[in-house]
Amino acid sequence: MFFDYIDEKLSKQLIFKDESKLSINYVPEKLPYRDHAIKRLFQLFKRLLSTGGKISVNVLITGCLGTGKTVVSKRFGLDFEKFCRSKGFSFKYIHINCRERKTIFSVLLRILQQLNVYVPSRGLSPDELLLEVKNYVLNNRKYLLIALDEVDFLIKRRGSAFLYNFARLSEEDLTNRSYLSLILISRDDLIEKFIEKPALSTLMLNKIKLERYSKGQLFNILMARAEEALFKNCISEEIIEMIARLAGPYGDARYAIELLWKSGKEAEANGLNEIKPEHVRKAKSSIYQRYTLNDIISLSNQEKLVLLSIVKALKEKEKPYITTGELKQKYKLICEELGVEPRTHPQIWSYLRELNSIGLIETMQSGKGFRGQTTLIGISEVPILPLERILISSLEGGKTQ
Ligand SMILES: Nc1ncnc2c1ncn2[C@@H]1O[C@H](COP(=O)(O)OP(=O)(O)OP(=O)(O)O)[C@@H](O)[C@H]1O
Ligand SMILES: [Mg+2]
């Protein structure tokens, strides 16, 4: 029958035996090249058990885009929960993405949701919500480990006082038990500079830095993922090598895995059961930026204004780079046009660092042909015209901050 034929065509998976294994939310059992980081987390947090939960352990994980910060923390959280269960220690790991949450209030609300504590979403202050978290841990005698992922978004926009409140949460308890530890995750490894002294000294952060993956490491990560997600013989080692080579300069596992997924999609769209080089080329051209639209939309208005100034100055100059002087001129003009108070020099620098760490811009020191030393700013990974359009429309969208 014709319909049977269509049905069969639709349901026929040519490449993927389990596409979810390539999803960003998937947490693999094994994380090659990150054993060391996970082992170190175990060493640090095992002290909770040996002291009967009397201490808190706070960790800062940093590393560039796609170096496995999120997945390492999640894998550790799952494994450590299991470990604690086997030892009869009541423990819970909670993972919160601060970029999605944006305010301290909604971070706390999310924590309480995950603890199945009902609170009205209006009328309570962050302090009151924090008290609810404290009551929960006291009443349930449960140890909490909260991972605040992309915490730099929160700290840079809302300050760091909330970290102090978190850190102090259990200190005031008369039983002398500590109930809460934190894992802070940030791309910016200078994030500590943004944390106020009292919070920083209370937290006593242990640091773990994840380095970019080499091309060879990406190859092995891709091999393992391809085995889990793709049917046998759908992809050759040569093709995996090709993808690893494309992602190699960035050391970014997310980009590598996304390329693998998109290449598979291209092959399937062509009705083939094998990924060919042309599918990889197409996949590469369809992901022209390593960051997502979400990265741009979730920038603060001021960061968007700085990025827009860079885009406009680059467009006018028709050169690969502009100087910081040129950026500042353009930025001042745009702020005037929009009736916005321009930010100070150090603030502009912090925006540039942020844009750089996302991978939206590149900065470098000037060489020959420039008077004195200046920083050059460029955008090379993405066509600037669509970027300008996205920025203007999202600024018009009127996000506050
Ligand atoms: N060692 C590894 N083995 C297998 N998969 C990995 C490894 N490291 C990272 N990945 C995968 O690469 C992708 C990106 O990792 P992850 O999201 O943890 O990066 P990240 O450092 O948090 O990046 P970002 O700064 O953008 O948040 C995920 O799909 C993750 O599962
Ligand atoms: Mg992450």
3 state SS for 30-71: CCCCCHHHHHHHHHHHHHHHHCCCCCCCEEEEEECCCCCHHH
CA of 144 to the centre of ligand 1 (A): 24
Q: What CA dihedral angle connects 152, 155, 161 and 163, to 10 degrees?
A: -20
CA of 256 to the centre of ligand 2 (A): 15
Q: For the beta carbon of residue 26, count every other beta carbon within 10 angstroms.
A: 16
Q: Which CATH architecture has domain 293-396?
A: Orthogonal Bundle (1.10)
151 lines ligand 1 (CB under 6 A): no
- Among residues 356, 353, 349, the alpha carbon closest in space to that of 331 is found at 349
Which residue owns the Cα nearest ligand 1 atom 26?
65
- pLDDT at residue 17, as a whole number: 92
Is there an atom of ligand 1 within 6 Å of 24 CB?
A: yes
pLDDT at position 267 is 95
Question: How many whole angstroms separate alpha carbon 127 and alpha carbon 352?
Answer: 33
Going by CATH, does the domain composed of 35-210 fall within 2.40.40.20? no
**pTM recorded for the entire structure:** 0.78
| CB distance 129 to 166 below 8 Å | no
Query: Would residue 66 be called left, alpha or beta, if left means φ above 0 and alpha means ψ between -120 and 50 degrees?
Result: left
CATH of domain 214-286: 1.10.8.60
Which residues, in sequence order, are bridge partners of residue 120?
Answer: none
- Cβ(109) – ligand 1 distance below 6 Å: no
Spell out the per-residue pLDDT of the chain, length 401, in tens: 455 544 544 556 889 999 999 998 999 999 999 999 999 999 999 999 998 888 889 999 999 889 999 999 999 999 999 999 999 999 999 999 998 887 899 999 999 999 999 887 778 888 899 989 988 888 888 899 999 999 988 888 788 888 988 887 766 555 666 688 999 999 887 788 889 988 898 889 999 999 999 999 999 999 999 999 999 999 999 999 999 998 888 889 999 999 999 999 999 999 999 999 999 988 887 765 556 666 787 788 899 999 999 999 999 988 888 999 999 999 999 999 888 899 999 899 989 988 887 778 888 877 666 667 788 999 877 778 878 888 888 887 654 33
Distances in Å between the alpha carbon of 58 and those of 41, 47, 159, 181, 353? 10, 12, 18, 6, 25
Distance between CA 318 and CA 257 in Å, rounded? 34
Which residues are registered as beta bridge partners of 148? 96, 184
Cβ count near 388 (within 10 Å): 16
CA of 224 to the centre of ligand 2 (A): 20
Looking at ligand 1, which atom is closest to the CA of residue 63?
21
pLDDT in the model for residue 290: 54
How many residues in total does the chain contain?
Answer: 401
What are the sequence ranges of the domains in the chain?
35-210, 214-286, 293-396
For ligand 1, atom 2, name the residue with the nearest CA. Answer: 31
Residue 320 CB–ligand 1 contact under 6 Å: no
Could you please report the per-residue DSSP string of 60-108?
A: EEEESTTSSHHHHHHHHHHHHHHHHHHTT--EEEEEEEHHHH-SHHHHH
Residue-level pLDDT at 356: 85
Q: Which ligand is nearest to the CA of 62?
A: 1
Does ligand 1 lie within 6 Å of residue 95's CB atom? no
Residue 282: phi and psi, rounded to 5, are -65, -45
Query: Does ligand 1 come within 6 angstroms of the Cβ of 21?
Result: no
Q: Give yes or no for residue 69 CB within 6 A of ligand 1.
A: yes
Q: What is the pLDDT of residue 401?
A: 38
